[in-house]
Amino acid sequence: RPTPPLRSTPVSLSSNAFHIQFARSHLLRLISLFHTRRAQQEARVAESIASMADSNPSPAAPAPNRTLRRPSWPIIGALLLILVPIVISIVVNDPNGFDPAPLPADYSFSASLAVAERHDRILASSKRVGEGRLPGPEDLAYDKARGFLYTGCSDGWIRRVSLKDEKMEVEDWAYVGGRPLGVALGPGGDLVVAESNNGLMIVKPDQSVAMLTDEADGLMFRLTDGVDVASDGLIYFTDASYKFNLDTHILDILEGRPHGRLMSFDSSTNQTSVLLRDLYFANGVSLSPDQRFLIFCETTLRRCRRYHIRGEKRGTVDEFIQNLPGFPDNVRYDGEGHYWIALAAGKTPEWDVVLKYPFLRKLMVTIEKFVKIPHSQRDSGILKVDLDGQPVALFSDPGLTLATSGLKIGKHLWYGSLVKDYLSRIDLTQVSR
């Protein structure tokens, strides 16, 4: 497998300036020519009508002139002759390096796995916590001993919510900058943060912030995403893509190529190790209760797999759950025998069509340089899964978008979002189907 470039060029959604300027200048000339010819035609018609009036002073109105309504086929042909090659050139030779590929042969476009227990109207049962104080609370980390729930926000702040009482006060706890995504508590009370723009960071209990790592094997992180910490302090985390960053992450999914990595960081040696390469948008990470393996999610392929870190299977990968009913983000273990997998968007016919045809994805990205195309993000939710990867229950809503994390604390299911300005909480004893 060829080694990827050490530092990939940042991808921009800006249009091809040369092609656009070229097309614009020729269009202006053609429009000018069209108006000139139309004016000449109108002048000739006016002269013809005047001549007819002089030779035949009948009061009858002249027959309608259909010449002005007839399309100018030479002009239309010239427009097509110029515009079609330009559009093809932009689509085929994208200057931004967007090169979509077919998804792996085992990717399923058929119906997703069946879930016996479904709750598909959870918004009505959800309570908003910290509304207006928690912009984009992407992931969750719960400190049971101290009664705090930590989350990373889009303004660069790590905030914590007190669960000691029903006031649930929000505190600006530590500023890390950038855009923090995954958060996980270490055995000593440290909070490890996957900061998407810069890398893996750590926040000490005294709120001091330090960088841990920002590259592995000479390849800089572009989208540090999910993280979890083992009981021995070893940190496991993902870099979703070495090609695209958070602002352009949708291109990684639409391109359908494996740019993600699963890694570990040993703070005792400051060693960053690449455990797995060629992952399809590597996302959430969660260790098993016995710490013999971890679960990691691949968003593009709608699956989560197991990576064995101890025992006879150490270093091997096998399937945990696939053909999910949506695109997975973070995954969290609740300490009670279940994982909670956040589905940022549901599997829809629109997504199936787009992901099935690489040229359609290429065309979409090309058109988006000029006109914004909405991407379906409906039917988001949280999937409850047992330790063997069997689905237990799905909590979703057609109106829910970009749910990025879910965690059961006591009788409540908490979930975060990439775009909302609050956390949501559901009383699982009262939620209806």
Q: At which of 92, 109, 138 does a domain end?
A: 92
Assess contact for 383 and 343: CB atoms under 8 A. Answer: yes
Helices (H), 67-141: 73-92
Q: What is the pLDDT of residue 389?
A: 98
Domains in the chain, number: 2
What CATH code is carried by the domain that includes residue 124?
2.120.10.30
**Residue 177 pLDDT > 60:** yes
Q: Is 100 a member of any domain?
A: no
| Residue 88 and residue 192 in one domain | no
| Residue 45 and residue 137 in one domain | no
| Coil/strand/helix, residue 431 | coil
Question: How many residues are there in the chain?
Answer: 433
DSSP 8-state symbol, 270? T
Q: Is 1 a member of any domain?
A: no
83-87, 222-226, 277-281, 362-366: least confidently modelled range:
83-87
CB count, 10 Å around CB of 221? Answer: 27
Q: What is the pLDDT of residue 396?
A: 96
Q: Is 5 a member of any domain?
A: no
| Residue 51 and residue 197 in one domain | no
| Residue 124 and residue 59 in one domain | no
Q: Is 86 a member of any domain?
A: yes
| Residue 367 and residue 404 in one domain | yes
Confidence of residue 27 (pLDDT cuts 50, 70, 90): very low
| Residue 324 and residue 406 in one domain | yes
| Residue 152 and residue 248 in one domain | yes
pLDDT digits (tens, 9 = 90+) for 113-124: 999 999 999 999
Q: Is 102 a member of any domain?
A: no
Q: Which residues contact 66 (CB under 8 A, 6 or more apart)?
A: none
Q: Which residues contact 380 (CB under 8 A, 6 or more apart)?
A: 326, 342, 343, 344, 345, 346, 396, 397, 400, 401, 402, 403
CA distance linking residue 430 with residue 427, whole number of Å: 6
Q: Which residues contact 338 (CB under 8 A, 6 or more apart)?
A: 384, 385, 386, 387, 392, 408
Q: At which of 92, 109, 137 does a domain end?
A: 92
Q: Is 297 a member of any domain?
A: yes
pLDDT digits (tens, 9 = 90+) for 362-419: 998 888 777 666 566 789 999 999 999 999 999 999 999 999 999 999 999 999 999 9
Q: Is 111 a member of any domain?
A: no
Q: At which of 32, 59, 92 does a domain end?
A: 92
**Residue 422 pLDDT > 60:** yes
| Residue 394 and residue 341 in one domain | yes
CA distance linking residue 31 with residue 83, whole number of Å: 14
Confidence of residue 44 (pLDDT cuts 50, 70, 90): low
**Residue 274 pLDDT > 80:** yes
**Residue 12 pLDDT > 60:** no
Q: Is 97 a member of any domain?
A: no
| Residue 185 and residue 266 in one domain | yes
Q: What is the mean pLDDT of residues 276-293?
A: 98
| Residue 178 and residue 326 in one domain | yes
Instruction: Compare 19 and 99 and report the one with higher pLDDT.
Output: 99
pLDDT digits (tens, 9 = 90+) for 145-167: 999 999 999 999 999 999 999 89
Q: What is the pLDDT of residue 374?
A: 59
| Percentage of the chain lying above the pLDDT 90 cut | 72
- For residue 241, with 0-12 CB atoms within 10 Å meaning exposed, 13-18 middle and 19 or more buried, which class applies? buried
| Residue 51 and residue 144 in one domain | no
Which string of b and e fits 20-40 if b means at least 16 CB within 10 Å?
A: eeebeebeeebeeebeeeeee
Average model confidence (pLDDT) across the chain: 86
Q: What is the pLDDT of residue 38?
A: 56
**Residue 260 pLDDT > 70:** yes
| Residue 200 and residue 342 in one domain | yes
CA distance linking residue 40 with residue 34, whole number of Å: 10
Confidence of residue 141 (pLDDT cuts 50, 70, 90): very high
Q: What is the pLDDT of residue 368?
A: 79
- Residue 227 Cα to chain centre, angstroms: 17
SS3 content of the chain, % helix, strand, coil (to 5): 20, 35, 45
Host domain of residue 83: 17-92
Q: What is the mean pLDDT of residues 199-227?
A: 98
DSSP string, 387-409: TTS-EEEEEEETT---EEEEEEE
Q: What is the pLDDT of residue 431?
A: 82
